Structures are given as structure tokens and as C-alpha cells.
Amino acid sequence: MSNLQKYKMLIGGEWVDAASGKHFESMNPYTGKAWALIPEGGAEDIDRAVKAAKAAFESGQWSKMTATQRGHLLRKLGDLIAENADALAATEVRDNGKLIAEMGLQLRYTPQWYYYFGGLADKIEGSVIPIDKPEHFNFTRHEPLGVIAAITPWNSPLMLAGWKLAPALAAGNTVVLKPSEFTSASSLEFGRLFEKAGFPPGVVNIVTGFGRDAGAALTSHPDVAKITFTGGPETGRLVYATGAKLLKKVSLELGGKSPNIVFDDCIIDNAVKGAISGIFAATGQTCIAGSRLLVQRSIHDEFVDKLVAFAKTAKMGDPMLPDTQVGPVTTLQQHDKILGYIDIAKGEGAECLLGGAKATRPECGSGWFVEPTIFAGVNNRMRIAQEEVFGPVLSIIPFEDEEEAIHLGNDVAFGLAAGIWTQSIRRALTVSEKIRAGSVWVNTYRAVSYMSPFGGYKDSGVGRENGQDAIREYMQTKSIWISYATDTPNPFVMR
């Protein structure tokens, strides 16, 4: 008998095993050992979950609730997440190896998404249009779409689920959530809170399993109205193609290769911290990683010396310890991918100033650790400057002036985020206007909020999350016409 914790999935308000009866192991990246068993859902489970979500949308209690009642439920859910934040964060750390300091903060912040969108639920108003047709009254309604397929990645499972579920539910949709196979446990624990908050059965269903099985079955299910996906660009393209074939609405958040641009008029010590937070926070496993550090040549050497000295002090080790600064990499595949990119960078002629290998420090034990790595002398055409590594690997690229910084900043397929370090307001505004990215931070980095739109330009994605407009991504507009004319004119021509 295995002593691993065994989880069940949530379908139509019931906690169930996969139809196949199969489970797969969830690994702890710090120990390199399995700690939980997750149901291996497949097409049959997805079909049941989508049908439950469809029934809840069309005829269940949910469909009869007012937007105000939905808002109350979402706020209750937010309270329950807040009460359970520490336990949920600990589960996430066990699964993805990110720091308890980071996951704790994320889980304590996640309720805000449910409060914000819960508050917005009953403030979505249509308009009365002063229509140009005589004796006609025309108005609009914003209606939910139906069943939403929410697919989440392993780096921030519950926070990113909140970015999708809070607006989707506030708008009146129902959901099937498919978390990453690497980090399913916290989403299943989160599922219990929907019951406690009083959500009717079937409104939120959580099916675990592999992307190629459960994920593919979900995106291709005919009764799914919209897919909202956060993950890698390759899978994102696949999901988009599936959605296109079936004419589903799709929104995608696909990561980046964000420029963190340091001008010579910055406050150097702050910019050094900004560069560190851009690449070594979350062990670089964040879509908004500032993985291309563009440094103005006039301060390049001084800046790089300070940065390397600071990075050398980063404390690696057990992510559950509150003072650890760099934890393990979430998956063995990702660990190997990062080491592969380090070899590529060396082969391309980049100069390795720090790290550049698997971490074998005693405090890293048998976990999947990679040393914080800094490459200087990177040319923007190198693969290490163009492709997302999703790990603690920084590429430093020198530049001469503002024009070159903007050119290099934009000379990449992605466009998710950018950082600018300067004390000049003119420069901050000019450069932030010219950088083609969805979020631009000036003298700060990695700031996100439920209130502020987030999403990608170019290959970084489609659509926006967060902020008031995000709820519209889960709605469609209906135009209603009422005639109050006493007669009906010629029926053979357009009115």
C-alpha cells in the first residue's frame, strides 16, 4: 500500500476517481520524491465535467441566481481562501518548489481577485442606444458565454486560476478547470472551498490529468464556449488551433523574454535589486521574468560587478524555510531544459560570470536546483536572448543609447513585460510608450494586481486578464430591438 496522499477530482459536485481508475504521482522538487497521487482524468471524465458545467449553466440554481448573489458567493470564496492561505501555499510549495515566502504572499493576495470581480458582478450594465431608426428602442445586454475551459500551468497554480475563475464566474459562466499535471494538488484542495462557500454543484469542476489527454479533450469538447489558457507557446499554439477549428473564443498567456532596461541615470542599487527580482525571484520560473538585462554601456561594468556580487549572496535551499531566496526548479524536465540552455549559451560564446551549472550545494540536497546564472556579452541574435528559458538564467546585453535600447527591447518575438530604470520622466514615458509589451514597469519590477490589465503583445498571447475589462473576456453582447411603431412598412426592404 502506498502511503502517498491520494486525491480525488471534482465533477458535478462529487469527489471522484478517474473513470480509468488510474492515478499518477506528484513530485516534490525539493526532495525529488513523489508525495501525492492524482487522478489521471481523460476524455470520459472531461465529458462528464463539461456536461455538469453545461447543466449548471443552463438550468441549475446558478443560472437562476442574480449577479448580486454570484458576487456574494465569490466574496465568501475569497474569505475561505484567506482562511486557508497558509495550508494551500504549503501544498503549492510541496508541488512546485517555489518559496513559501512567495507562495504565501500569492495565496494571501489571491482572495482579492474574488472580492474585486465579485464586486463587479452586478455592475456590468448594458446601454440604451439612441438608435437612428424611428419608433425603435434598442438596448444591449452583456451575457455570459457558457462553459469555460480554464487551463493553468505549474508556476503559480491558484493565483493564475483566480485570474481566470474570478471574472468567468462573476460574469455568470460555469467552469472546468484543468490544472498542470505537475501541480494539481492545490487546485483539488481549493475545490473543497466551493462546496463550503455554497456554490451549486457543477458550477466549478476540476479534472486533473495530462495535457495531451485531459487537456486536449477539454479544449476540443464541443460544449466548451471559451478556452482560457496560461502555459508555454508551443502548447498555446496547439490550443489556439483547436479553438479555431471549433470556432471557440480563446485567450492565451504564453510567457515572454522581457527586457529589463537599465539606463545610466538610474539609482544603481535599486536597479540591481530590480534585475535580481526580474530573474532570480521564483527561480526565474515566471512568465514576466526580466531575462534580458539591457545595460547602458557607460555603467555596464560597474553595474554588472554589483549585480554578480549581489547574486552570489542568494541563499539557496529548502523552499519551506522563510529566508530561502532561490529554490529548486519545479520539474525535472524544466531543470534539464535550463541546463540545456546554459550549454547553448556557452556554445554561442556568451561569457558565464556566475553559476552555469546544476547546484550541488549541500543545502540543495537531492532537489532539482540550478545555480543562479549570469551571462554577459550576449548578442540579441543568440538563442539565449530570444527563447524563453524559464529558469534562473540572465542574459546581459549592452546598449549605447535610448534608440538602441528600444530597438533591442523590441527585437524579440515576445511582448509580455518590460522594466525601465531611469530617473528621467521624459525617458520613462518615451521608452514605455515605444516598448511593445503588455506591462511596463518603471523603477519597479514584477508588480501585478487584480486591478490592472495584464497580457501579451505579439507572441506573448491573446486577450487580457485582470482589471475591469477582464470580465468582458467572459461575456458577449446582445443587441435587442423593440419596435413601438403602429404600422409595419414595406417588408421587402431593410429597416
What CA–CA distance (Å, rounded) separates 275 from 291? 9
Coil, strand or helix at 380:
coil
Q: Are 487 and 186 in contact (CB under 8 A)?
A: no
CA nearest neighbour of 229 among 168, 141, 318, 293: 168
Cβ atoms 428, 422 nearer than 8 A:
yes
Name residues contacting ligand TXE, limited to 348-387 (CB under 6 A).
none
Query: Coil, strand, or helix at residue 14?
Result: strand
Q: Is 232 in the site for ligand TXE (CB under 6 A)?
A: yes
287 touches ligand TXE (CB under 6 A): yes
Q: How far apart are CA 217 and CA 220, in angstroms?
A: 5
Name the minimum Å distance from CB 183 to ligand TXE. 9
235 binds ligand TXE (CB under 6 A): yes
C-beta closer to ligand TXE: residue 118 or 391:
391
CB of 310 to ligand TXE, least distance (A): 25
Smallest Cα–Cα separation from 332: which of 269, 391, 406?
391
CA-CA distance, 91 to 87, in Å (whole number)? Answer: 6
Closer of 290 and 398 to ligand TXE (Cβ)? 290
- Check: CB of residue 116 under 8 Å from CB of residue 451: yes
Site pattern 385..404 for ligand TXE (x: CB under 6 A): ---x-x--------------
Options 9, 74, 216, 408; binder of ligand TXE; rule CB under 6 A: 216
Neighbouring residues of 247: CB distance < 8 A, sequence distance ≥ 6: none
Q: Does 253 contact ligand TXE by CB under 6 A? A: yes
Residue 278 CB, nearest approach to ligand TXE (Å): 14
CB burial of residue 73 (10 Å; 0-12, 13-18, 19+): buried
- Asked if 117 contacts 166 with a C-beta cutoff of 8 angstroms, the reply is yes
Q: Total binding residues for ligand TXE by CB under 6 A?
A: 28
Regarding beta strands 33-39 and 23-28, do their DSSP bridges make them parallel or antiparallel, or are they unpaired? antiparallel
Report the residue from 161, 239, 282, 408 that binds ligand TXE according to the rule CB under 6 A: 239
Which listed range, 104-112, 176-184, 257-265, 359-367, lies at the site for ligand TXE (CB under 6 A)? 176-184
Catalytically annotated residue among 253, 371, 402, 465: 253
Among 29, 41, 42, 153, binds ligand TXE (CB under 6 A): 153
CB of 95 to ligand TXE, least distance (A): 13
Instruction: Return d(Cα 429, Cα 380) in angstroms, integer.
Output: 24
Q: Which of 92, 287, 364, 388 does the annotation list as catalytic?
A: 287
Q: Whose Cβ is closer to ligand TXE: residue 24's or residue 139's?
A: 24
C-alpha cell at 98: 517555489
Q: Is there a catalytic annotation at residue 287?
A: yes
Using CB under 6 A, which of the segments 215-223, 340-348, 360-368, 374-382 binds ligand TXE?
215-223
Which residues here bind ligand TXE, judged by CB under 6 A? 151-155, 178-181, 211-212, 215-216, 219, 230-232, 235, 238-239, 253-255, 287, 334, 337, 388, 390
Task: Give me the active site residues, please.
Answer: 253, 287
